[in-house]
């Protein structure tokens, strides 16, 4: 039987966080053995906000280096840069014509982002989910690993695919979201009621993947908790400690009950040190590999060029099938 196809991606804006890593890339590593995986760097999606061009270029390579440093094997996966496979833009245009303004207006991410960037509510921000649908449908992905915040975009992808299939006969595979409950949402350290975000204004809220050991320890020590001083998982009433448990669990693979047992009778001070230790332990080798890779541009270029060629093969097949069906010469 053919392997199931997986596709996912990370935007190339800003510095990556521990949330990006534990919520996404870390989970992908185990999937590479079982599935036919496509991992892209969503640099075209990044254009919905204003970027410094040099920074955007660098960030694209940084994410590529991180994918590899985190353990994604370029031989086993197709790792590529979105903008290099032109079929993404091409299919996005076509799918735009099969997507309704009403549907797009209901996207919570669009509503949130247009509130945040009132000076730049561009059409790309509005049709962002359609480009994402194109990313997914081009490769006929069965499963799409995403965080909770992207589930709605997957729903609209399914709606667009079903609509198209109904009009023109079976063309697209209807993809499913693949959300890992335990690590779907790593929250901020200072405000554990909202997602850890690279655009947070309080830098202590976020662990960046390139933070130094000292910085990581300092940030975790400062993390907001509560006055109970008991390590217990209760996201509603103890969001801070529960978030630290989530981080600890994602790295050690221990369940929450086990963690509670391990830290019985110990206070938050001990627990925080233990969390800091596993985070540093996990990130250090990745950081070393990452820095090494960034020094080796030729290798990165080779990886993304090969990735582009592998991705293109599938993408061209799908776009030709679509054009044939709709009557575009
Ligand atoms: N929008 C996703 C995010 O910000 C990134 C992304 C772009 C993506 N295209 C995708 C994720 C396709 C999964 C599949 O997290």
Q: What's the confidence (pLDDT) of residue 129?
A: 98
Selecting among 34, 116, 151, 195, the annotated active-site residue is 195
Each residue's pLDDT tens digit, 121-179: 999 999 999 999 999 999 999 999 988 889 999 999 999 999 999 999 999 999 999 98
Each residue's pLDDT tens digit, 226-238: 999 999 999 999 9
Each residue's pLDDT tens digit, 4-31: 999 999 998 878 899 888 888 888 998 9
Whole-number Å distance, alpha carbon 150 to ligand 1 midpoint, is 7
The answer to whether the beta carbons of residues 9 and 40 sit under 8 Å apart is: yes
Percent residues over pLDDT 70 in the chain: 98
198 belongs to the catalytic site: yes
Q: Is the CB of 129 under 6 A from ligand 1?
A: no
Question: Can you give the pTM of this predicted structure?
Answer: 0.91
Q: Is the CB of 42 under 6 A from ligand 1?
A: yes
Q: Rounded distance, CA 208 to CA 17, Å?
A: 4
- CA terminus-to-terminus distance, the chain: 34
Q: Which residue CA neighbors atom 9 of ligand 1 most closely?
A: 132
Selecting among 198, 266, 289, 317, the annotated active-site residue is 198
The arithmetic mean of pLDDT across residues 287-300, rounded, is 96
Q: What's the confidence (pLDDT) of residue 12?
A: 86
Q: What's the confidence (pLDDT) of residue 181?
A: 64
Each residue's pLDDT tens digit, 68-91: 999 999 999 999 999 999 999 999
Q: Which residues, listed in sequence order, are joined to residue 11 by a DSSP beta bridge?
A: 42
Each residue's pLDDT tens digit, 249-282: 999 999 999 999 999 999 999 999 999 999 999 9
Task: Ligand 1 pocket test: pick from 5, 6, 7, 11 the residue with the most ligand atoms within 8 Å of its Cβ.
Answer: 11
Whole-number Å distance, alpha carbon 45 to ligand 1 midpoint, is 8
Q: Rounded distance, CA 220 to CA 206, Å?
A: 9
Q: What's the confidence (pLDDT) of residue 179?
A: 81
Whole-number Å distance, alpha carbon 294 to ligand 1 midpoint, is 23
Q: What's the confidence (pLDDT) of residue 182?
A: 60
Tell which residue, 312, 24, 308, 9, has the closest CA to residue 131: 9
Q: What's the confidence (pLDDT) of residue 180?
A: 72
Q: Which residue CA neighbors atom 6 of ligand 1 most closely?
A: 9
Each residue's pLDDT tens digit, 98-118: 999 999 999 999 999 999 889
- Of ligand 1's listed atoms, the one at least distance from the Cα of 42 is 7
Q: Is the CB of 144 under 6 A from ligand 1?
A: yes
**Per-residue pLDDT band at 1 (split at 50, 70, 90):** low
Q: Is the CB of 240 under 6 A from ligand 1?
A: no
221 belongs to the catalytic site: no
Q: What's the confidence (pLDDT) of residue 146?
A: 87
317 belongs to the catalytic site: no
Residue 184 has pLDDT above 70, yes or no: no
Whole-number Å distance, alpha carbon 9 to ligand 1 midpoint, is 5
Selecting among 113, 221, 289, 323, the annotated active-site residue is 113
Q: What's the confidence (pLDDT) of residue 219?
A: 97
Q: Is the CB of 7 under 6 A from ligand 1?
A: yes
Whole-number Å distance, alpha carbon 277 to ligand 1 midpoint, is 30
Tell which residue, 7, 42, 1, 328, has the closest CA to residue 138: 7
Q: Is the CB of 135 under 6 A from ligand 1?
A: yes
Q: Is the CB of 195 under 6 A from ligand 1?
A: no
Q: What's the confidence (pLDDT) of residue 218?
A: 97
Q: Which residue CA neighbors atom 15 of ligand 1 most closely?
A: 10
Q: Tell me which residue has tokens 């000076």.
A: 119
């Amino acid at each position: 039987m053919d392997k199931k196809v997986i596709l996912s991606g990370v935007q190339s804006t800003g510095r990556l966080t521990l949330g990006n890593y534990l919520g996404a890339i870390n989970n992908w590593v185990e999937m590479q053995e079982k599935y036919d995986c496509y991992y892209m760097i969503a640099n075209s999606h990044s254009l919905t906000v204003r970027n410094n061009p040099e920074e955007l270029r660098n960030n694209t390579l940084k994410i590529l280096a991180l994918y590899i440093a985190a353990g994604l094997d370029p031989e086993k996966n197709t790792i590529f840069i979105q903008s290099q496979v032109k079929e993404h833009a091409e299919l996005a245009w076509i799918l735009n014509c099969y997507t309704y303004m009403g549907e797009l207006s209901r996207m919570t991410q669009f509503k949130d982002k247009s509130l945040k960037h009132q000076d730049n509510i561009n059409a790309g921000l509005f049709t962002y989910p359609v480009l994402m649908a194109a990313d997914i449908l081009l490769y006929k992905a069965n499963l799409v690993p995403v965080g909770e915040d992207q589930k709605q975009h997957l729903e609209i992808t399914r709606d667009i695919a079903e609509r198209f299939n109904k009009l023109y006969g079976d063309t697209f595979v209807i993809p499913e979201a693949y959300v890992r409950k335990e690590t779907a949402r790593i929250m901020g350290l200072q405000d554990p009621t909202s997602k850890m975000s690279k655009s947070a204004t309080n830098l202590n809220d976020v662990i960046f993947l390139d933070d130094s050991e000292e910085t990581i320890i300092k940030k975790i020590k400062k993390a907001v908790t509560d006055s109970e001083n008991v390590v217990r998982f209760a996201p509603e009433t103890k969001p801070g400690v529960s978030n630290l448990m989530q981080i600890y669990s994602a790295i050690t693979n221990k369940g929450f009950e086990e963690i509670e047992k391990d830290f019985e009778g110990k206070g938050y001070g001990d627990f925080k040190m233990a969390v800091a230790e596993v985070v540093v332990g996990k990130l250090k080798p990745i950081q070393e590999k990452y820095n090494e890779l960034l020094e080796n541009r030729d290798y990165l270029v080779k990886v993304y060029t090969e990735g582009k060629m592998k991705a293109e093969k599938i993408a061209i097949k799908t776009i030709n099938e679509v054009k044939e069906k709709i009557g575009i010469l």
